[in-house]
Chain A
C-alpha cells in the first residue's frame, strides 16, 4: 500500500475504503507500523493500543461490507491521554495515574466508537495539561514533525504530532487555553474549540470551566465531519446547554463573499507578535479580502483583560481539582506539576469570583462586537516555536495563549487553520472566532481560505533518519 495514505484526509480515506482500494485493517496496520518506526523519536503516543485498534479495524471492515456509509467508519484516530478510554490506560502523563485503566469511555470517545472509528492509542500531553513538559515526565515531550529540533506545543501536543506526522488520520484533544488550536497552528492542521460544552466533556480529566474537547484534523471538512459526529447536548456534562443539531458541512462551500471580518488591531498590536507570524497574518487577511470578505477594525482591548482572569480561573480550578491528590500522592507528581498545581493554594474566593465577573463582562463585549461583524480574525499564536513560548518571561505572562485563551474564558467558538510557514520550517495558524453555536460559519470561512491557499496540502518531510530526538 502507498504509504502516502497515512497522510490522507478523512474524506480521502473514506473514498478509498468504498472503492475497495484500501481497507481499515490495512490502513491500521500501516499506521501502527509507522508509529513503531517513528514514534520512539517523536513521542506522540503514551500508549499504543495495537490489539484493540486491530479489532476495531476488523469490526469497521464488517460495517463497510454491510454497506454502512458513515463517514468515520474505519477512520483511525489518536485520543489525548486525558480522555478516559475503557480498557486502555489513561494517564494524563502522570505517574499518579500510570496504571489507571478506566471502565468507561469519555463521551467523545464513546461517540467515536459508535460511529465506527478506530482508536489507535493515547497521545502525549504535559502532566495533567498544567505543567511545563520535562524529559523526566512519565512520557518525554513530543517533537514537532515539521522540524524535530523543536518541541511540539501543547497541551494536545501528542494529538497534533500524531495527526500531522501520519501516525493517525485525525485526533482528539482538549483545549483549556488554546490546547487544540495552538498545536493545530504549529503543525499544519485545523483544530477547533467549539462553543463551550457543545462537545461533551464527560470523562475528560480536565474538569475546569474553561476546558473543551476538540478535534484536530488535516482539513476543514474533516473537522466538520468530526463535529457532526461529536456535537450534541449531553446531560452528563453539567455545562452543556440544549440546542438544535446542526450540519457542520452544510453551506461549507458557500464562500466568504460579504462576510464581515473583524480584526482587533489595538489588541493584536499590544501583543509581541513575531515577524513571521505578522507577515503570514497580513497575507491571510489580504487573501480573505480578495475572496470577498470585508475587513473591519474592531476595538476589543478588553481581550487584554481576559489574560488575568484566565490565569486566576485556570489556577484556582486546577488547585481545587488536584488538592486531594496532591496531599495523598505528592511524590508521584512531577516537579513542574507540583509547582503549577500548588501556586493557587492561597487565592481567595473573592479572587475567583472577580475573575468570573471579568469573564462575564469580556464575553458581553465580544458579543457586542459580534453583532457588527460576523467573525473575529487574529493569529493563533504570536510566536512560532514552543521554545519561544516557554521563555520564562513570555511563559509567565502567557504570551503564547494571548489570542486563544480569551475565547476559553468567554466560551465563544474559535478554530485555527494553517496560513503560512515560518523561516524555521514550522507552520503558522490563523484563528477565526465567532458567535456561540456559529461553528458552521467559522468552518465555511476557513474552508474558503483553505481552498484558496496551499498550506493544507503540505506535509512534513519525515523519515526516521531525519529525527534526532
Chain B
C-alpha cells in the first residue's frame, strides 16, 4: 500500500514543495482529481487479486448463437 496524501493542507504543502505555482482555485480544482486517481490506483491492487487469485477471471467464448445478445 502506497502512502497517500490525506488532506488538502498536506496536498497544498506537497505542491509547494514541488515548486508548482498553483493558485488556490487551481489547488481546489486538482485535489479531487488527485483523490480520484488515488482511488483508481488503489483499485489496481484489488484487480490484481481478481486476475491472479484462486478465483481469477478467465476469458472464454460461448458457442455461436442465433440471437445477437449473449
Contact = CB atoms under 8 A, between A and B. Distances in A.
Contacts of A342: 15, 20, 22, 30
Nearest to A289: B68
A369 B59 contact: yes
Secondary structure at chain A's binding surface: helix, strand, loop or mixed? helix
Contacts of B11: 346
B44 A285 contact: no
Nearest to B67: A295
Interface in B32-49: 33-34, 36-38, 40-41, 43-45, 47-48
Nearest to A288: B68
Contacts of A265: 69-70
Contact of B61 (A301, A330, A346, A373): A373
B44 A354 contact: yes
Interface string A298-311: 11111001011101
A344 B33 CA distance: 9
A85 B63 CA distance: 50
Interface in A296-345: 296-302, 305, 307-309, 311-312, 315, 326-327, 330, 335, 338-340, 342-345
B24 to A, nearest CB: 13
A417 B26 CA distance: 39
Contacts of A312: 37, 40-41, 44
Contacts, number: 130
A266 B69 CA distance: 10
Interface of B: 2-5, 11, 14-15, 18-22, 26, 29-30, 33-34, 36-38, 40-41, 43-45, 47-48, 50-52, 57-65, 68-70
Contacts of B4: 346
B41 A355 contact: yes
Interface of A: 260, 262-263, 265-266, 282, 285-286, 289, 294-302, 305, 307-309, 311-312, 315, 326-327, 330, 335, 338-340, 342-348, 350-351, 354-355, 357-358, 361-362, 365-366, 368-369, 372-373, 396
Most buried by B among A263, A307, A327, A339: A339
A213 to B, nearest CB: 27
Contacts of A338: 22, 26, 30
A452 B29 CA distance: 48
Contact of B26 (A286, A305, A335): A335
Given A305-B51, A348-B2, A369-B61, A315 B37 contact: yes
B2 A350 contact: yes
Given A338-B22, A343-B33, A358-B44, A302 B51 contact: yes
A348 B51 CA distance: 21
B33 A339 contact: yes
Given A295-B64, A302-B59, A344-B37, A327 B44 contact: no
Nearest to A301: B57
Contact of A298 (B44, B45, B50, B61): B61
11 contacts: A265-B70, A296-B61, A297-B62, A297-B69, A299-B58, A308-B40, A309-B47, A343-B34, A346-B14, A347-B37, A372-B61
Contacts of A365: 51, 57-59
A55 to B, nearest CB: 43
